[in-house]
């Protein structure tokens, strides 16, 4: 590999270093797998016995210096999950065990970082951006983007991307898991055994749950995850209907109010937007069948949590399951006392396989930005 201080020639395309003659004046600096010449950036690779310098016509999108650009990662993860950034960036990754870095810590340490990768838990707003004067790029290793103040990012010329497909299968699986848990009272039964109540005597009539086969599942939203949930639900012989913001010619389509009236189980699977905020409120809950079930794996603010609690307390809903909450991680305390409610801590996408995929996709977007390439999933 060429050494820092050697002279090379710029070019618009890849060329073999060994064939560069005569060298033009200028100094080539090497930082890992990055080379800099006259404010232009080179990615160093190899082909056979020759080293190749890949030079872009435009200048680098960040100030070049004698150090790699710094990228902040909010959770301590294997470096293999950030492989696309090898040689392109210095990784700043606080070790907080299994927890994400607290916001205060991120604000203290983000100052000279050009990019940040989070799981979507980090609110990117004016306060954050004021603390990050060098920031040029934000990557969500998550499907949602409601943690991003997009207007403020655009005002400051900061780009962003997410990973819209990375967690779909995991979330669909989790949705079916919640549905089975809720209707067959699995978590409730687990608590019953663990607390020694079963040992006091058999109560067979207590555990009669609800069969999924033959029931109607109503899905609010009809995107990637919803279609995966639909396929899984049909394997349980469920009838599946759906609604979406734009009516379409599909035998399973229903307007929202019709879907609520026809469904035995309703699942919310829509992004949080001004139009979907409190989409499930007291008025719409009243349209649901008495004794029906509600599941939210979308975003907490898609539902009016207090209204759902009231519908459970009155018995109008037979049960519910939530992976998201209106003010998470805070949860309406009334839910804790309800045996017919299943609660999980926003882990719908949390499988090892898909978390790794999401981080690889997010770091690949950062790498594309650093190389000046087009993004795959800009927001």
Would residue 377 count as lying in a domain?
Answer: no
Q: Which of 21, 37, 60 is the last residue of a domain?
A: 60
Q: What is the pTM of this model?
A: 0.81
Provide the pLDDT confidence category of residue 23 given band limits of 50, 70 and 90: very low
Q: Are residues 179 and 282 in the same domain?
A: yes
pLDDT at 65: 43
Cα separation values, 23 from 3, 8, 51, 348, Å: 14, 5, 16, 56
pLDDT at 56: 35
Q: Tell whether the model's pLDDT for residue 20 goes beyond 70.
A: no
Q: Tell whether the model's pLDDT for residue 286 goes beyond 80.
A: yes
Q: Are residues 185 and 331 in the same domain?
A: yes
Would residue 231 count as lying in a domain?
Answer: yes
Q: Which of 60, 87, 109 is the last residue of a domain?
A: 60
pLDDT at 204: 87
pLDDT at 267: 98
Q: Tell whether the model's pLDDT for residue 220 goes beyond 90.
A: yes
Q: Number of folded domains in the chain?
A: 3
Average pLDDT over residues 126-151: 96
pLDDT 10s digits, 224-278: 999 999 999 999 999 999 999 999 999 999 999 999 999 999 999 999 999 999 9
Q: Are residues 303 and 361 in the same domain?
A: no
Q: Are residues 281 and 174 in the same domain?
A: yes
Q: Are residues 177 and 318 in the same domain?
A: yes
The residue among 298, 350, 329, 326 whose CA lies nearest residue 98 is 350
Q: Are residues 95 and 184 in the same domain?
A: no
Would residue 176 count as lying in a domain?
Answer: yes
Q: Which residues form the catalytic set?
A: 299, 328, 346
Q: Tell whether the model's pLDDT for residue 72 goes beyond 80.
A: yes
Q: Tell whether the model's pLDDT for residue 104 goes beyond 90.
A: yes
Q: Are residues 140 and 286 in the same domain?
A: no
Q: Are residues 301 and 212 in the same domain?
A: yes
Average pLDDT over residues 33-56: 41
Rounded mean pLDDT of the chain? 86
Would residue 349 count as lying in a domain?
Answer: no
- The 3-class secondary structure across the chain, one letter per residue, is CCCCCCCCCCCCCCEEHHHCCCCCCCCCEEECCEEEECCEEEEEEEECCEEEEEECCCCCCCCCCCCCCEEEECCCCCHHHHHHHCCCCEEECCCCCCCCCCHHHHHHHCCCCCEEEECCCCCECHHHHHCCCCCCEEEECCCCCCCECHHHHHHCCCEEECCCCCCHHHHHHHHHHHHHHHHHCHHHHHHHHHCCCHHHCCCHHHHCCCCCCCCEEEEECCCHHHHHHHHHHHCCCCEEEEECCCCCCCCCECCHHHHHHHCCEEEECCCCCCCCCCCECHHHHCCCCCCEEEEECCCHHHECHHHHHHHHHHCCEEEEEECCCCECCECCHHHHHCCCEEECCCCCCCCHHHHHHHHHHHHHHHHHHHHCCCCCCEC
Q: Are residues 238 and 124 in the same domain?
A: no
Q: Tell whether the model's pLDDT for residue 6 goes beyond 50.
A: no
Would residue 81 count as lying in a domain?
Answer: yes
Cα separation values, 147 from 75, 83, 211, Å: 16, 25, 37
Provide the pLDDT confidence category of residue 9 given band limits of 50, 70 and 90: very low
pLDDT 10s digits, 325-354: 999 999 999 999 999 999 999 999 999 999
The residue among 29, 9, 30 whose CA lies nearest residue 19 is 9
Would residue 174 count as lying in a domain?
Answer: yes
Judged on CB neighbours under 10 Å (0-12, 13-18, 19+), 343 is middle
pLDDT at 67: 81
Q: Are residues 9 and 102 in the same domain?
A: no
pLDDT 10s digits, 295-305: 999 999 999 99
Would residue 348 count as lying in a domain?
Answer: no
Average pLDDT over residues 179-204: 95
pLDDT at 63: 43
Would residue 244 count as lying in a domain?
Answer: yes
Domain carrying residue 38: 1-60
Q: Are residues 98 and 41 in the same domain?
A: no
CATH number of the CATH domain containing 333 = 3.40.50.720
pLDDT at 320: 98
Q: Are residues 219 and 362 in the same domain?
A: no
pLDDT at 59: 40
């Amino acid at each position: 590999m060429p050494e820092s201080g050697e002279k090379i020639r710029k070019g618009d395309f890849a060329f073999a270093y060994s064939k560069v003659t005569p060298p033009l004046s200028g100094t080539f600096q090497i930082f890992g797998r990055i080379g800099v010449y006259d404010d232009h950036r080179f990615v160093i690779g190899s082909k056979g016995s020759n080293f190749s310098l890949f030079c872009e016509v435009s200048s680098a999108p960040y100030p070049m210096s004698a150090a790699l650009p710094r990228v902040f990662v909010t959770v301590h993860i294997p470096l293999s999950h950030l492989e696309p950034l090898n040689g392109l960036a210095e990784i700043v990754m606080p070790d907080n065990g299994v927890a994400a870095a607290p916001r205060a810590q991120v604000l203290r340490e983000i100052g000279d970082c050009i990019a940040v990768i989070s799981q979507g838990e980090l609110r990117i707003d004016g306060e954050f951006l004021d603390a990050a004067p060098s920031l040029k790029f934000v990557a969500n290793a998550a499907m949602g983007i409601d943690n991003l103040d997009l207007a403020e990012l655009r005002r400051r010329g900061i780009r962003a991307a997410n990973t819209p497909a990375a967690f779909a299968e995991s979330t669909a699986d989790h949705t079916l898991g919640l549905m089975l848990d809720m209707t067959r009272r699995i978590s409730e039964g687990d608590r019953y055994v663990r607390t020694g109540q079963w040992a006091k005597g058999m109560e067979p009539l207590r555990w009669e749950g609800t069969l999924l086969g033959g029931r109607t599942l109503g899905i609010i939203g009809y995107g990637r995850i919803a279609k995966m949930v639909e396929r899984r639900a049909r394997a349980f012989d469920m009838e599946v209907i759906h609604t979406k913001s734009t009516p379409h010619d599909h035998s399973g389509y229903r307007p929202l109010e019709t879907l609520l009236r026809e469904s035995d189980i309703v699942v919310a699977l829509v992004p949080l937007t001004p139009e979907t905020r409190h989409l499930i409120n007291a008025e719409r809950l009243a349209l649901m069948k008495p004794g029906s079930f509600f599941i939210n794996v979308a975003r907490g603010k898609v539902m009016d949590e207090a209204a759902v609690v009231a519908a459970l307390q009155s018995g109008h809903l037979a049960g519910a399951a939530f992976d998201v909450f209106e003010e998470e991680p805070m949860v309406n305390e009334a839910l804790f006392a309800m045996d017919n409610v299943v609660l999980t801590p926003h882990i719908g996408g949390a499988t090892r396989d898909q978390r790794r995929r999401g981080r690889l996709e997010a770091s690949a977007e950062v790498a594309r930005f650093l190389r000046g390439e087009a993004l795959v999933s800009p927001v």
